Structures are given as structure tokens and as C-alpha cells.
Structure 1
Amino acid sequence: MAATYAMLAGESLGLGTCMLGGIHPLIQQGRKAKAFREAHGIRSASREGLFVIFGYPRLRYHQGIQRTFASIDWAR
């Protein structure tokens, strides 16, 4: 839930956001993983499974994609 609020806050400031899941195994083993953890202050025994990245978009669009949503059929 906190990641969602962080993404909304970033978007309101004009930042692009992307939620990345499944990072945990990639930051736990190996020399590069150790350097990454040290650079970002992540404990070795951490259990993070979700990262949110922020950045300024490279491209600006004048108009978004027009989408249509399918109808919803309820089954009981």
C-alpha cells in the first residue's frame, strides 16, 4: 500500500514511476548484489520484494491513448 501512495505522490510531481517486483533474489547473492545493497543501504537479511523507481520521462505526449473498456458480466 505504501508503494502505491509513493507512486501517486511521484506522479503528482511530474515523475514517471514503475513498480518492480521479484527483486529479492537478485540482491541477495554475488559481488554485484553486495555492492548494490551497500550503495543503497539495504540490509543483507532484508525481505524486500518490491521496488519503486522514479524518474523524469524522456518523452512527453500531447494526448494519451484512447481506450474503451469491455463490458462486465456478473455471474452469481
Structure 2
Amino acid sequence: MTESDLSVLRERAENGDATAVDILIELVGERGDMDELRRLADNGSSDAADQLIEVATELGDMNELRRLADNGNITAAEQLMELTEE
């Protein structure tokens, strides 16, 4: 997918196209694009937040997990606890 295609997809997602949001989450999740996932999650997408937690956990990104946990995300808090116990 080209950057132009991604831009169109982002625009559709920002305009409330749920299918575009789902596709965008899948694409950026596969790429490990935490910035894009963070933006989507911060805009209210729980699916993006879940994907962000998965990527952050895989990368051992404690700061991102802590940020999400501090904002009330229980799953991030649980993952953070698991990583700190290892």
C-alpha cells in the first residue's frame, strides 16, 4: 500500500468510516507503527488500543504500557505487571 493509499484510508477513518478504521489498524499494527496506533487509540478506538498494547508488549515498551495504564487501560496495566514480574 502506498503512502497515498494510506492517506486516503486515514481520511476515511477520520470521517467515521468504521471499515477504514479496521483496515488501518490492521495495516499499521502489522507494521508496528505505534505512533499511528496511538493516534487512533487516543481518538477512541479500543481496537487500536488493543493492538497498541500488543505491539508495545512485543517490543517491551514499558513507557507506552505505563502511559496507557495511567490513562485507565486495565489490559495495559495487566501487561505491565506481567512484564515487570519477568
TM-score, normalized by the shorter chain, greater than 0.5: no
Q: Judging by fraction of residues, say which structure has more strand.
A: 1
TM-score (norm 2): 0.25
Bigger CA radius of gyration: 1
TM-score (norm 1): 0.27
